[in-house]
Amino acid sequence: MESIQQKFYEKYAGIQTKLIRDFINQVDWSNRFIGIKGNRGVGKTTLLLQYIKLNYKPDNKVLYVSLDSIYFSDISLYIFADTFYKKGGQLLVVDEIHRYKNWSLELKNIFDDMPELKVIFTGSSLLELRKGKSDLSRRVVMYEMPGLSYREFLQFDQNIVLPKYNIETLINNHIEISSEIINKIKPLEFFDSYLNYGYYPFFKENKNSFHLKLSEVLLTVLEVDIPQFEEIQISNIAYLKKLLHIISNSVPFKPNMNALSSRTGISINTMKNYLKYLNDANIISMLYVQNKEINSLNKPEKIYLNDTNLIHNLASNKPDIGNLRETFFYNQLKQNNTINASKESDFVINKEYTFEIGGYSKNGTQIKGIEKSFVVKDGIEIGVNNTIPLWMFGFLY
């Protein structure tokens, strides 16, 4: 216990609290059991340590521990929590909960047996309470933490704080909003950098080695996280990688399941499962028409990579600019909105707004006559009428 405490105190002393993501304000920290899931590298650990430092003194009432520690190879989480609780512990923060085999059962027992103990834990995007051995849905409030929005990237990279907007406010006031923003910063100056390396906060550590680290993160998800949650045989991981390679060099990918099965050597039913695994892991994003559940095995209309950083990381050649634009739009909108495929254009948002994405010369011919339709253009600072700059959709969270 003392060695764990010492490591926590070292992390506590070293964590900065000047640059904090807005996500910290989206969590209702008054809940007794809180789960935060998200991609590797989006900053879950940093956020938790910042929350602790802002609200607790480094004493025996609070403790942070990561379950990827060898310490937990021969001691149960329950016994560890019980010892901490009996010594006056009030808040136990548990990182990498998915690394622990019986996490669901032991969290349930901790909840039931230690009524005064508050627990916050983090896990992979793949983490689903329904897969636990015990029902935690009534006990745990779950949140999902995304990577940086373009607005947050500007804060992290350029130290400029700008407001966020919901989709309705942005649509109705985009000229006024963009005018205010371009008086403070040139948004197009940094946009390409965000598309390349701005979604994951660890770009701050070293931009030159960003993609090496992102490759390591991706490999860990494919070789460790997905097999752990979905019980894929190690020998089949090669098929999963092959599938991702084909998708990443074709996105936005309109899947033909028969052709894809032939190219990969994966049966169609297994293919559908693998696509779902990659989607659940936030490596890909599958776009459906309205009224088709993402968890059903319906064929998606299109498949995108989750974010533009992955495009730059995985593409064999120079990324297609049209793909980057659509992926950015999809990624930024899906955090707080419902997004579907459109028969007439690229996307339908919240079953109400139609969007066509393109470059500087894009016109609105394709969506002419469609109510509440908009052209989203890359390469412009300010829009006009129903034409909105692409970069502005990075200010939605």
Give the start-to-end residue ranges of the domains of the chain: 2-145, 152-395
What are 19-26's contacts with CB under 8 Å, separation 24+?
Answer: 19/155, 19/156, 20/47, 20/50, 21/47, 21/148, 21/152, 21/201, 22/152, 22/164, 22/397, 23/47, 23/143, 23/145, 23/146, 24/50, 24/51, 26/143
Residues in the chain: 397
What is this structure's pTM? Answer: 0.93
Burial 327-364 (b: 16+ CB within 10 A, else e): bbbbbbbbeebebbbbeebbbbbeeebbbbbbeeebeb
Burial of 25 by CB count in 10 Å (0-12 exposed, 13-18 middle, 19+ buried)? exposed
pLDDT of 294 over the 90 cut: no
Positive or negative, the CA dihedral 29, 34, 39, 40 is positive
**Topology classification of domain 2-145:** Rossmann fold (3.40.50)
| Residues 316-369 pLDDT 10s | 889 999 999 999 999 999 999 999 999 899 999 999 999 999 999 998 888 999
Give the number of other CB atoms < 10 A from CB of residue 97. Answer: 22
* Summary mean pLDDT of the chain: 93
Give the residue-averaged pLDDT of 204-220.
97
Please, which pLDDT band fits residue 20 given cuts at 50, 70 and 90? very high
Window from 147-151, 244-248, 379-383 with minimum mean pLDDT: 244-248
Best-predicted range by mean pLDDT (83-87, 96-100, 298-302):
83-87
pLDDT of residue 323: 94
pLDDT, position 61: 97
